[in-house]
């Protein structure tokens, strides 16, 4: 962790007393060792031992301590090992040269070692920054939800910086701060005035920023360059402030800002596209409904006008034919109106109003068939049960409504002499209830996801749009799907069914 590395490095420089003691003991140890090896190595060997001490102190301590050790070593060598010994008098030019050479080399090495340390520190910080920013990029590239991405980013920053982190924004109405994401929910609390100031002026707040440095947090708005009250701000706890650089915090905030704004732009573009698409579909759907409603009304008006104006001229057979036409179109209008009302109710009803329970497909089909038994003209239906023991978890009334519409559509399209089949089967993890007719199929470009909202799928008869819209709405409530398959097998058959997710009954 970044804080651990930086704190350990700083703790190696403190406390000062412990550091001074270790340097002092080191000089004593080197001096004692030099007394032992002096007669074997001479002045050059002793100078080398003290040079090792200078390098060690330079690597471990600050520059001032390193220079102090270099000068101290110079004096110790002069006092103990340069003739005349045990005095600071230097008796020869050779001794002067050796001592000055040692001092210059010590100071040069000290300077180089500290430069290397600084470069190493900078390299470590840049590497840490690059890895941290790359991790943030990876989070946003994997997570589609912007809030989840921000939450994971806060947890990442908490683990690396050792501070609580939060993403806050202003409520547009109350101007109070709202927590979008946090490393620990409710832990980071920043006064809304400070947050408002940072967002409004695009200013960084907190230690070493030049603005409100006494705050307990850093606050960096996402909109530092493009000010916007819709953008949040990064808020970081002030702990370990001596180890966290403002440039690092700024880079983190900029990275989060770029990806957050990009994600928001993508969401807005997607929403705008979906809205335009929905409006286009709605217009097409309304046009289809308008056409389906206007045609029978025109027929009824025309037939009734003929009866009113030409009743004396029309024969009994012609009058009966016109009355049958009026009745047929009125029945169609009534069915269409019922379907529209059902569709509106499905759109307006709350999910809590859907009565979900375990339902038997056989009982549902029986309820539908009983409706047709009360009609004068009954369609020819055949039930095929391939999943007799399976149950469906759903609302019986809605499923009956959807199946009735599927059968009505099949009756309109059916051209064969064989009965219309109602098939119940299980395919993989789905329980399906479908209707098979021998009528005109659907076009290849038909999209089940837009069933009832496109005009190109009409199957030689009017009125399919509303029925399929209802079926699709019912399946949405059951987290299922509408299935459409044309030209099954060698015969021209069309299958339209409802696929319910399989659940084991308790």
Q: What is the CATH number of the domain that holds 177?
A: 3.30.450.40
Q: Do 126 and 148 have their domain in common?
A: no
Q: Do 403 and 483 have their domain in common?
A: yes
Q: Do 404 and 451 have their domain in common?
A: yes
Task: Summarize pLDDT for 204-252 with one digit per residue, the tens.
Answer: 999 888 888 888 899 999 987 766 778 899 999 887 555 678 889 999 9
Q: Are 252 and 219 in contact (CB under 8 A)?
A: no
Tell me, rounded to whole angstroms, the distance of Cα 139 from its chain centroid.
Answer: 9
- Structural domain boundaries, residue 453: 350-501
Residue 248 lies in a domain: yes
Which of 395, 384, 371, 381 shows the shortest CA–CA distance to 433? 384
Among residues 209, 237, 267, the one where a domain terminates is: 267
Work out how many domains the chain is built from and give that number: 4
CA count, 13 A, side-chain hemisphere, 333: 17
Instruction: Tell whether the torsion through CA atoms of 276, 278, 279 and 285 is positive or negative.
Output: positive
What is the per-residue pLDDT for 376?
63
Residue 56 lies in a domain: yes
417, two tokens: 């002499």
State yes or no: cis peptide before 84, omega within 30 of 0.
yes
How many Cβ atoms are within 10 Å of 435's Cβ, its own excluded?
Answer: 23
Q: Do 245 and 320 have their domain in common?
A: no
C-alpha to C-alpha distances, 69 to 38, 51, 61, 63, nearest whole angstrom: 20, 10, 10, 10
Task: CATH number of the domain at 389, please.
Answer: 3.30.565.10
C-alpha angle 61-66-72 in degrees, rounded to nearest 5: 135
User: 455 pLDDT band (50/70/90 cuts)?
Assistant: very low
Between residues 441 and 469, which one has the greater pLDDT? 469
User: 435 pLDDT band (50/70/90 cuts)?
Assistant: very high
Between residues 302 and 15, which one has the greater pLDDT? 302
Least confident of 2-6, 23-27, 179-183: 2-6
Residue 65 lies in a domain: yes
Q: 3-state SS string over 387-410?
A: CCCCCEEECHHHHHHHHHHHHHHH
Report DSSP state, residue 369.
Answer: H
Between residues 353 and 280, which one has the greater pLDDT? 280
What is the per-residue pLDDT for 11?
45
Whose tokens are 């529209």? That residue is 340
Q: Mean pLDDT across the stretch 382-396?
A: 89
Residue 64 lies in a domain: yes
Among residues 115, 137, 159, the one where a domain terminates is: 137
What gap in Å lies between CA 314 and CA 331, rounded to an integer? 24
212, two tokens: 């409100």
Between residues 227 and 48, which one has the greater pLDDT? 48
Q: Do 153 and 118 have their domain in common?
A: no
Give the predicted TM-score (pTM) of the model: 0.54
Residue 323 lies in a domain: yes
Q: Is the pLDDT of residue 500 over 90?
A: yes
Task: Summarize pLDDT for 326-356 with one digit per residue, the tens.
Answer: 887 887 788 777 767 776 776 666 655 678 8
Between residues 134 and 456, which one has the greater pLDDT? 134
What gap in Å lies between CA 399 and CA 70, rounded to an integer? 92
Q: Do 115 and 252 have their domain in common?
A: no
Give the β-pairing of 494-501 and 481-486.
antiparallel
Give the β-pairing of 165-170 and 177-182.
antiparallel
Whose tokens are 């996402």? That residue is 222
Identify the bridge partners of residue 359 per DSSP, sorted by sequence position.
392
Q: Are 379 and 417 in contact (CB under 8 A)?
A: no
Q: Is the pLDDT of residue 9 over 60?
A: no
Task: CATH number of the domain at 278, please.
Answer: 1.10.287.130
Report DSSP state, residue 419.
Answer: P
Q: Do 307 and 446 have their domain in common?
A: no
What is the per-residue pLDDT for 372?
76
What is the per-residue pLDDT for 497?
93
- E-assigned strands of 248-397? 357-359, 381-385, 392-394
Mean pLDDT score of the chain: 82
Q: Do 376 and 455 have their domain in common?
A: yes
Residue 315 lies in a domain: yes
Q: Is the pLDDT of residue 171 over 60?
A: yes
Tell me, rounded to whole angstroms, the distance of Cα 353 from its chain centroid.
Answer: 31
What gap in Å lies between CA 371 and CA 342, rounded to an integer? 17
Among residues 94, 114, 137, the one where a domain terminates is: 137
Q: Do 249 and 313 have their domain in common?
A: no
Q: Do 361 and 288 have their domain in common?
A: no
What is the per-residue pLDDT for 281?
61
Q: Do 433 and 464 have their domain in common?
A: yes
Identify the burial level of 489 via C-beta atoms within 10 angstroms of its C-beta, where 0-12 means exposed, 13-18 middle and 19 or more buried.
Answer: exposed
88, two tokens: 């600071």
Task: Summarize pLDDT for 486-496 with one digit per residue, the tens.
Answer: 765 446 788 99
Residue 506 lies in a domain: no
Q: Do 342 and 484 have their domain in common?
A: no
């Amino acid at each position: 962790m970044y804080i651990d590395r930086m704190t350990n490095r700083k703790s190696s420089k403190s406390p000062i007393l412990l550091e001074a003691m270790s340097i002092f003991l080191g000089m004593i140890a080197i001096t004692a060792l030099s007394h032992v090896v002096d007669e074997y190595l001479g002045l050059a060997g002793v100078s080398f031992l003290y040079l090792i001490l200078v390098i060690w102190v330079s690597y471990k301590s600050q520059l001032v301590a390193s220079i102090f050790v270099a000068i101290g070593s110079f004096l110790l060598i002069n006092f103990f090992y340069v003739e005349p010994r045990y005095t600071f008098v230097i008796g020869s030019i050779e001794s002067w040269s050796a001592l000055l050479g040692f001092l210059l080399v010590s100071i040069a090495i000290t300077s180089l070692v500290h430069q290397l340390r600084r470069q190493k520190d900078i390299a470590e910080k840049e590497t840490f920054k690059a890895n941290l920013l790359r991790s943030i990029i990876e989070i946003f590239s994997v997570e589609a939800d912007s809030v989840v991405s921000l939450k994971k980013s806060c947890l990442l920053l908490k683990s690396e910086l050792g501070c609580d982190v939060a993403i806050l924004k202003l409520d547009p109405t109350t101007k109070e701060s709202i927590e979008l994401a946090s490393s620990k929910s409710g832990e980071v609390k920043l006064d809304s005035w400070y947050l408002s100031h940072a967002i409004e002026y695009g200013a960084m707040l907190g230690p070493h920023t030049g603005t409100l440095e006494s705050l307990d947090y850093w606050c960096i708005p996402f909109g530092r360059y493009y000010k916007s009250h819709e953008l949040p701000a990064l808020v970081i706890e002030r702990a370990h402030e001596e180890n966290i650089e403002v440039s690092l915090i700024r880079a983190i905030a900029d990275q989060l800002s770029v990806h957050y704004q990009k994600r928001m732009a993508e969401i807005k573009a997607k929403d705008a596209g979906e809205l335009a698409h929905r409006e286009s579909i709605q217009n097409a759907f309304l046009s289809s409904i308008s056409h389906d409603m206007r045609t029978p009304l025109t027929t009824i008006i025309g037939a009734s006008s003929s009866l009113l104006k030409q009743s004396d001229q029309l024969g009994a057979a012609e009058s009966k034919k016109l009355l049958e036409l009026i009745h047929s179109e009125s029945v169609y209008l009534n069915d269409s109106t019922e379907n529209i009302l059902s569709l509106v109710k499905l759109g307006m009803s709350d999910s809590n109003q859907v009565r979900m329970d375990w339902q038997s497909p056989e009982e549902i089909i029986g309820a539908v068939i009983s409706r047709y038994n009360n009609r004068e003209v009954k369609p020819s239906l055949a039930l095929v049960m391939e999943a007799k023991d399976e149950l469906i978890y759903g609302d019986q009334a809605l499923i009956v409504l959807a199946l009735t519409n599927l059968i009505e559509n099949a009756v309109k399209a059916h051209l064969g002499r064989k009965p219309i089949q109602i098939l119940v089967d299980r395919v993989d993890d789905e329980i399906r209830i479908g209707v098979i007719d021998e009528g005109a199929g659907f076009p290849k470009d038909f999209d089940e996801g837009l069933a009832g909202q496109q005009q190109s799928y009409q199957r030689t008869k009017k009125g399919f749009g509303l029925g399929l819209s209802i079926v699709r709405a019912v399946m949405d409530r059951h987290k299922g799907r509408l299935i459409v398959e044309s030209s099954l097998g060698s015969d021209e058959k069309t299958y339209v069914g409802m696929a319910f997710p399989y659940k084991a009954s308790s």
